Amino acid sequence: MARYGMVMDMRTCVGCQACMAACTAENQTPFWNGKFRTHVEDKAQGTFPDVRRVLLPRLCMHCENTPCLSACPTGATFMTEDGIVKVNYDRCIGCYACCIACPYDARYAYDREDVNKEEELYGKFTSHKQPHVDKCTFCDHRVSEGREPACVSTCPTNTRIFGDLDDPNSEVHKLATSGKAQALNQSLGTSPKVYYIPS
């Protein structure tokens, strides 16, 4: 079985936010309320005149040791055999325990207002038919067809590299084990499967 993961090469991110747009279109996330499955943080670091702009694309880290999965009382949050953390919308009661447990702010509520708005926008092609807590799925519906997640295939600068972390021939494996890439907030012990090569 594959163990999917992602490497973010921060040396190339230009903050174009194409990943956010691609994800929104692919997964019908409620952009109208500023809710995204992936988000590009855009921060200024330092004080004038020594100021630097820092960009940080983030999404669900699909942790191996998942605090959200432990926090979910209904078993709605689960991990697939490929290591992808998903939410079963039918089982989610929306208690927000997973949102509180997630150290990466990767989850948001797809509430009643969002469901109604989505129906208005997408008609019968809606993918979120009821309120639930939503998050990135590494576009597993695309991955199962042999395609890359929408954010990865859209990124114009190849910042996002997706693949099987256990496959020694994959680029993502080579980069993740190169020593250059680091996961965020490692001290929490959640073992994220998204790695960052600093700029």
Partner 1 sequence: MTFVHQEVWHWQIATYLFLGGLGGATFAISALIHLFEGCDRKMLSVAVMSSIGFLVLGTVFLLADMLQPLKAIYALTNPRSWIFWGVIFINFYFVSAIAYVIPLLEVWPKINPYVQKIPRGILDLLERFNKLAALTGSAAGFLVAIYTGLLISAAPAISFWNTPALPLLFVISGFSTGAAFLLLLSTFSKNEESWKIIAKLEELDAMLIVTELIILGAYFNFALFLPTGARESAQVLFHSPLFIIGFFIFGLIVPLAIETYGIFFAKHTKKSGHLLVIASVMVLLGGYLLRYYVLKAGLFQFPW
Binding site for partner 1 (CB under 8 A): 41, 43, 54, 56, 58, 67, 69-76, 91-97, 99-105, 109-112, 130-133, 184-185, 188-190
Please state, in angstroms and rounded to a whole number, the distance separating the CA atoms of residues 67 and 144.
25
Q: Tell me the closest approach of the beta carbon of residue 170 to partner 1, in angstroms.
A: 25
What are the structure tokens assigned to 13, written together?
Answer: 């991110």
> Could you identify the residue written with the tokens 């820092």?
54
Residues 6+ apart with CB under 8 A from 99: 107, 108, 109, 133
What count of other Cβ atoms lies within 10 Å of the Cβ of residue 198? 11
Please state, in angstroms and rounded to a whole number, the distance separating the CA atoms of residues 9 and 101.
27
Q: Tell me the closest approach of the beta carbon of residue 19 to partner 1, in angstroms.
A: 16
Q: For partner 1, which is the closer residue by CB, 102 or 155?
A: 102
Q: Tell me the closest approach of the beta carbon of residue 176 to partner 1, in angstroms.
A: 17
Reported as type and span, the H/E element at residue 194 is strand 194-197
Q: For partner 1, which is the closer residue by CB, 103 or 142?
A: 103
Q: Tell me the closest approach of the beta carbon of residue 113 to partner 1, in angstroms.
A: 11
Please state, in angstroms and rounded to a whole number, the distance separating the CA atoms of residues 13 and 11.
6
Q: Tell me the closest approach of the beta carbon of residue 77 to partner 1, in angstroms.
A: 9
Q: For partner 1, which is the closer residue by CB, 98 or 143?
A: 98
Q: For partner 1, which is the closer residue by CB, 2 or 69?
A: 69
Q: For partner 1, which is the closer residue by CB, 103 or 180?
A: 103
Partnered with residue 110 across adjacent β-strands are 132
Partnered with residue 94 across adjacent β-strands are none
